[in-house]
Amino acid sequence: MKNECLVVGGGIVGMLTALELANNGLRVTLVERESVGQESSWAGGGILSPLYPWRYPPAVRELANWSQQHFPLFFEKLHLATEFDPEFTRNGLLIMEPNDAERAQTWANQYQQELHFLNAAQTLEIEPKINKLLPTPSIWLPQVGQVRNPRLSKALKIALIEHPLIHLREKVNIAHLQIQGDRITGIKTTSNGILSGDFVIICAGAWSARLLQDTCFLPKIKPVAGQMLMFKAIPNLLSRIVLVNGHYIIPRRDGRILAGSTMEETGFDKIITEEARQALTTAAINIIPELKQYQIEEHWAGLRPGSPSGIPYIGEHPFVKGLFLNTGHFRNGVVMSLGSARLLVDLLLERDEPIIDPTPYMPTSRMNEKFDPKSPECQACKMCPEI
């Protein structure tokens, strides 16, 4: 039986993919060029819901919905097995966007999500420090959870190390794929030679397209930077995640409050700017005026793996057998991660009934997104049937 898998990239998506493969009896080597969980998966807010879920295409909603249903048990087991708490907290999401009320209700009915509309007094009752001038009725989603990204990555790393079928290799950079005929046979590292495998799964986040440059199918993944701030606030200043005009604040258990985020296309540089710091500070103080008393402890940027409509690429490469993608989760990589890992394994193992319809995610369904066949890369590669 073919069962040697090479997972490239140790963000949340790669780590969960490795675990899901190994839990299904496959042997896995996870290769990460630095340390696992340090890129987008470290930088994110860990909100376990798309920000305005009704504004996303069904493909994002379906995967988020599946993950949301399975996260509570998953986190409980992870915490128990690793003795490390990723701080999964179901403290809800309050959205101050009355114009979205009708669409929100339709979405809630479709996905059986608990949703309440709160008037100004009710909003203040559950979140007393919130700015009284914010528009109501607010949309209250009490079941939405959050996780603390660095803690989740740490717990996942422990789980990887302890799994008998997983070999974790950090500080190994993958330079190229090794392809013979129409089949993947391994990956070439910049320093340690070739690693052979029956399956290679690309989970390299914003860097994924670079690795696929020679394969005649370039997923449209590009880095989209996001800056965030962390206030050193105190417990009980804020109890739930609040979202206003695309800006959100997230209370952590120790009282710290995250404020996010920007959306910038600045290539692969993780630049932090004074302009973003000002904008995020102003937006956060607009939500909770008392926040101005607290100092900003940290300011950082991460690179989201941007993709068309935020739909990740999950499934086998159109032209290279054994080469799979699980990447391009854009703004919702944490909330979609669990479902993505499971769907990827369903497809790799050719299961008759994958958890959801895989069509919208599969590279084979997304050929119209590919490169220009007249480009020099295409002409040089000659792998796809059109050339």
Ligand X SMILES: Cc1cc2nc3c(=O)[nH]c(=O)nc-3n(C[C@H](O)[C@H](O)[C@H](O)COP(=O)(O)OP(=O)(O)OC[C@H]3O[C@@H](n4cnc5c(N)ncnc54)[C@H](O)[C@@H]3O)c2cc1C
Distance separating alpha carbons of residues 291 and 231, to the nearest angstrom: 8
- CA–CA separation, 121 vs 123, rounded Å? 5
- Nearer Cβ to ligand X (80/271): 271
**3-class SS of residue 316:** strand
**Interface pick for ligand X out of 94, 334, 347, 383 (rule CB under 6 A):** 334
Stretch that binds ligand X, among 123-131, 274-282, 333-341, 377-385 (CB under 6 A): 333-341
204 scored as a contact of ligand X (CB under 6 A) = yes
Among 25, 34, 58, 282, binds ligand X (CB under 6 A): 34
65 part of the interface to ligand X, by CB under 6 A: no
Judged by CB under 6 A, which of 332, 347, 356, 360 binds ligand X?
332
d(CA 286, CA 266): 27
Number of Cβ atoms within 10 Å of the Cβ of 55: 13
- 205 scored as a contact of ligand X (CB under 6 A): yes
Rg of the chain, C-alpha, whole Å: 21
- What are 202's strand-pairing partners? 8, 325
- Cα separation, 149 vs 37, in Å, equals 8
Q: What residues numbered 223-262 form the site for ligand X, per CB under 6 A?
A: 226, 228, 260-261
| Cα separation, 347 vs 370, whole angstroms | 21
Cα separation of the two ends of the chain: 34
Give the range of 45-53, 275-283, 287-295, 316-324 binding ligand X by CB under 6 A.
45-53
Among 11, 86, 219, 360, binds ligand X (CB under 6 A): 11
Among 26, 47, 311, 344, binds ligand X (CB under 6 A): 47
Per CB under 6 A, does 43 bind ligand X?
A: yes
285 binds ligand X (CB under 6 A): no
Residue 46 binds to ligand X (criterion: CB under 6 A): yes
> Candidates 98-106, 155-163, 204-212, 348-356 — which segment interacts with ligand X by CB under 6 A?
204-212
Size of the site for ligand X (CB under 6 A): 43
Query: CA 194: distance to chain centroid?
Result: 29
Identify whether the C-beta of residue 219 lies closer than 8 Å to the C-beta of residue 328: yes
Distance CA 378, CA 140 (A): 49
- Report if residue 302 touches ligand X, rule: CB under 6 A: yes
Phi-psi map region of 235: left, alpha, beta (phi>0 left; psi -120 to 50 alpha): beta
Binding site for ligand X (CB under 6 A): 8-14, 31-34, 38-41, 43-47, 173-174, 203-207, 211, 226, 228, 260-261, 302, 304-305, 327, 329-335
